Amino acid sequence: MANSSNLRVAVIGGGPGGYAAAFLAADLGMKVTLIDPEVNPGGVCLYRGCIPSKALLHVAKLLEEAEQAKNWGIEFGEPKVDLNKLRGWKESVVKKLTGGLDSYPNSVRSSWCRAKRHS
């Protein structure tokens, strides 16, 4: 088998499968280029899918529990939702999680290529 430090691999897509494959290849000593349109790895799940949805579902659950609390003898006033603050909080959750992924490629033999497919 060839010396892994001489091997080069390109991974297209920085989602959970792509960044995991790229990081493993880099850990094995390969030179890796991870290609994705986002600033940091994460893919649809982290940027627009699972994580933003779960953050908003957490808020919905909190509102539901506050409503149910009156059955336990605890009552709150009518909730006031500031959509701009809520969006900002959701974005901070996404930024925190994608920011953590950003530091890993710099610590191993890999590079990040920001590219988009053109139709």
Looking up residue 81, the CATH number of its domain turns out to be 3.50.50.60
Residues 86, 5: contact at Cβ < 8 Å?
A: no
Q: Stretch 102-106: mean pLDDT, rounded?
A: 58
- Specify the number of domains making up the chain: 1
Cα–Cα dist 104/66, whole Å:
39
Three-state secondary structure call for residue 28 = coil
Averaged pLDDT, 32-49 = 85
Q: Per the domain annotation, does 91 fall within a domain? A: yes
Query: Percent of the chain beyond pLDDT 70?
Result: 83
Its domain, for residue 12, covers: 4-114
End-to-end CA distance of the chain, in Å?
A: 39
CA 12 vs CA 8, 29, 115: distances in Å: 13, 19, 10
CB 32 within 8 Å of CB 109: yes
State mean pLDDT over 4-32: 86
Half-sphere exposure in the Cβ direction for 72 (13 Å, CA): 7
103 belongs to a structural domain = yes
The yes-or-no verdict on residue 111 having pLDDT over 80 is no
Residue 37 has a pLDDT of: 86
Adjacent-strand bridge partners of 112: 34
Where does the pLDDT of residue 113 fall: very low under 50, low under 70, confident under 90, or very high at 90 and above? Answer: confident
108 vs 94, higher pLDDT? 94
Burial class (CB in 10 A: 0-12, 13-18, 19+), 15: middle
What's the whole-number mean pLDDT along residues 7-31? 88
Q: What is the pLDDT of residue 104?
A: 58
Q: Is 119 a member of any domain?
A: no
